[in-house]
Amino acid sequence: MRTFSFHKTRARVLVRFGIASLILLSTDSLATCAQDAPRYRVDPFWPQELPNNWIIGQVGGLAVDREDHIWVLQRPASNTVDEIGASLTPPRSQCCIAAPPVLEFDKQGNLLQSWGGPGQGFDWPKTEHGIYVDKDDNVWIGGNAPTDRHVLKFKSDGHFLMQIGHPSSDPPNSLRTDILGSPAGIEVDSAAHEVYIADGYRNKRVIVFDADTGAFKRLWGAYGNPPDDADPGAYHPGAPPGQQFRNPVHCIHISRDGLVYVCDRLNDRMQVFTKPGKFVKEFTLRPETLGNGSVWQFVFSTDEHQKFLVVADGENNVIWTLRREDGVVLGQTGHNGRNAGQFHWLHQIVSDSAGDLYTGEVDTGKRIQKFVLVNHGKSQK
């Protein structure tokens, strides 16, 4: 009996030691990952002052092209009378005049060109929302007003190329392929010649078209199921996961390993799919968040394996750093407020090839900011 007890006790010690070692290794691994996670500081001098007495309104979209130029899609109509006093007749004040909707900046914050607005042969959106610059330097633009049921494709100089969908007052219908539902996000898979659309503020789906011809390819809803436009009711933390997206389906991006990431904003979650639309996984981000939700927009980190997701949260007004593998939060940047590096309705985020971030705000924020990557550790090699 004593021999048996000794072996039994020894076995317990070994098991406990093994469990403790596993926990320690897991903790050390998480700590190492957190140390490698990207960290940022605000550049309060970016961008440079706009020319022509211009001022920007709400930032409906941001994009970065292959030359690391930053494209801003802003909403001139969102400016208040006192903000554009110089444009009134007679002028109310010395400043300002609404800038054109599309602005292209270099990394130093210098304005390179501007264009946009109503034109011949296409329907400019009533409320600008979502911009993407593909590898051929084509500029894609969407809108989220009730009648904005389309996306536009331009050359980088503003020359019109193609329109998918058309303005409409028809009710939402996530099974229709001739119009969209106030699309919020756009991404182009250049190799496959396909454009993916987070659709959107009225529809509850992802929809894919041929990027050259505009022909419909496929669509899906949450979990890869057919979309359902029924009202799911208010979001409640702790309730069973919603089986459909809530409006808005706010962003869509494709990882280097071919996975499609979708922002389901009001459900406080991100869902991941294959390109054909098969559900892979999901994770939530601060699921107790109410209001406008936590998952607004994101970028992948610039390391080879894109180990991190850098998420803009416009309700909590922070930038979260998540581990891409499982959505674990490793850090945060910023705070609700009016100072440099703080946010009010953080709406958009993009990253250049160096890992620097650019953000845009809506509501009364009406601001673009730059955040410089300050740690060039393992995550950025």
What is the pLDDT confidence band of residue 259, given thresholds at 50, 70 and 90?
very high
Q: Does pLDDT of 18 surpass 60?
A: no
pLDDT at 32 over 60: no
| Distance, CA of 357 to CA of 352 (rounded, Å) | 7
Average pLDDT over residues 41-63: 98
Cα gap 206→163, rounded to integer Å: 18
> Long-range contacts: 238-246, Cβ < 8 Å, 24+?
238/287, 241/267, 241/269, 241/282, 242/267, 244/204, 245/204, 245/205, 245/221, 246/204, 246/293
Phi, psi angle pair for 31, to nearest 5° = -65, -40
Look at residue 375 in the predicted model and tell me its pLDDT.
86
- Please give the pLDDT value at position 20: 43
d(C-alpha 188, C-alpha 253), whole Å? 9
Residues in the chain: 381
SS3 assignment, position 296:
coil
Q: Give the list of residues 6+ apart from residue 345 with CB closer than 8 angstroms, or none.
A: 292, 314, 317, 361, 362, 363, 364, 365
From the number of C-beta atoms within 10 Å of its C-beta (0-12, 13-18, 19+), residue 126 rates as middle
Using CA atoms, how far apart are residues 120 and 21, in angstroms rounded to an integer? 68
Mean pLDDT confidence for 289-296: 98
The terminus-to-terminus CA distance of the chain in angstroms comes to 59
The arithmetic mean of pLDDT across residues 270-281, rounded, is 98
